[in-house]
Structure 1
Amino acid sequence: MTHYGMAIDLKRCIACHGCTLACKSANNLPDGVRYNNVLTDGGQYMDTARGTYPNDLYRKYYPVSCQHCENPACVKVCPVGATYKDPETGVVRQDSDKCIGCRMCMSACPYTGVRTFNWEEPKYSLDFPVGDYDAPEHVKHTVEKCRFCYQRLAKGETPACMEVCGAFARHWGDLDDPDSEISQLIATREWEQLLPEMGTKPSVYYLI
């Protein structure tokens, strides 16, 4: 068994949004759907700082998607097993064939904005599919979220967002392997997780 996770170095992230675009392309996401968002911890608007120039400015970027929790609240409330934790990888997955569109997973998830719901038949800006040939289909009246590019993991590859990070801010690996790069980083760097008080135990670590 493996427990895949991700560590994101907040000192290196430059908010280029390459991870957002790579994810959207690789997974052939419909218009208006994003699995990965880069949020600004700072001023009122994206890419703005808070404080007073020149000595009191603060800004930090947080790439946020599904946290693939060890104790996922979404899995507990799904009445049909469409949201489930894969026992072999630890990845929290979505089965669109089972999803009945009740959106209980969206209500239970404490991480706002990491899921979207397809109210209508998915629409695309291009008239042909892009990205991975085996990317999951997108279906009306179902929930969408990051799957850690499961179609790539099945082939021994890494998620698309990992491959394009020009700042080398993202790190990937097995959290259960103490010798993996990600485990070594977590052991030697200061880190934080989103909403630890919720008890979900995210598999995404933010290096600070």
Structure 2
Amino acid sequence: MKRIWIDACKCDGCLNCTLACMNAHRADKGSIYDLNLADPSNESRNFIHRQPDGTYRPVFCRHCDEPECVNSCMSGALSKNPETGIVEYDEKRCAGCFMCVMNCPFGVLKPDSTTKSRIIKCDFCKDSGSEPSCVKACPKKAIWVEEVQS
């Protein structure tokens, strides 16, 4: 199973990972130079928080071994793929209760900004076929993918 790993000490807050994520999940699949940052439908699935000491803290879905978001999902919209290890989201099954948001120990999941009826979470850029966009975009190599044993 593949996991995204983070070395927060290398993060300089450039937000390339965030922009790459937004671009990878937008509907029109255009160039990053055409990305409308004011469009609320272009939401990132990761976050970079600036700490009081000036350092940056990247926050990404960890696709946990025992995901609290999956355990708390009453509708079955979240599930852990046993082959890939990725926590997958089925928007059609989501009841919009946001129990997953409340139970994520890392604060990664969030309601979408426009309808507040579904969640926004990392899907490991499932349509890209290779590495997630955030990993490819990080100039400091603070984010990487590694194969792990479960």
Q: Give the TM-score, by structure 2 length.
A: 0.81
Q: Figure out how many residues of one structure are paired with residues of the other and give that number.
A: 138
Aligned residue in 1 for 2:68: 73
Inter-partner Cα distance in structure 1 for 2:26 and 2:65: 27
Deviations 1:171-207 (CA, angstroms, capped at 9, x unpaired): 212112xxxxxxxxxxxxxxxxxxxxxxxxxx9xxxx
Q: 1:148 aligns to what SS in structure 2? A: coil
Q: 1:39 aligns to what SS in structure 2? A: strand
Say if 2:40 and 2:114, in contact at 8 Å, map to a contact too.
no
Q: Report the alpha carbon displacement of residue 149 of structure 1 after superposing the two structures with TM.
A: 1.2
Inter-partner Cα distance in structure 2 for 1:99 and 1:8: 29
Q: Report the alpha carbon displacement of residue 120 of structure 1 after superposing the two structures with TM.
A: 4.3
* 1:168 and 2:141 aligned: yes
Inter-partner Cα distance in structure 2 for 1:150 and 1:39: 25
In structure 2, the gaps of 5 or more residues are 28-38
Q: 2:127 aligns to what SS in structure 1? A: helix
The residue correspondences of 1:104-183 to structure 2 (distance < 5 A) are 104-112=99-107, 114-118=108-112, 120-121=114-115, 141-152=117-128, 155=129, 157-176=130-149
Q: 2:17 aligns to what SS in structure 1? A: helix
Deviations 1:85-136 (CA, angstroms, capped at 9, x unpaired): 1111111111111111111111211222x12213644xxxxxxxxxxxxxxx
Kindly report the root-mean-square deviation, in angstroms, between the aligned alpha carbons of the 2 structures.
Answer: 2.1
Paired residue for 2:3, among 2, 5, 29?
5
Identity %: 35
Inter-partner Cα distance in structure 2 for 1:17 and 1:120: 22
Aligned residue in 2 for 1:35: 45
Say if 2:4 and 2:145, in contact at 8 Å, map to a contact too.
yes
Paired AA for residue 117 in structure 1: P
Inter-partner Cα distance in structure 2 for 1:21 and 1:37: 10
Paired residue for 1:86, among 69, 81, 84?
81
Paired AA for residue 147 in structure 1: D
* 1:23 and 2:10 aligned: no
Inter-partner Cα distance in structure 2 for 1:76 and 1:9: 28
Q: 1:97 aligns to what SS in structure 2? A: helix
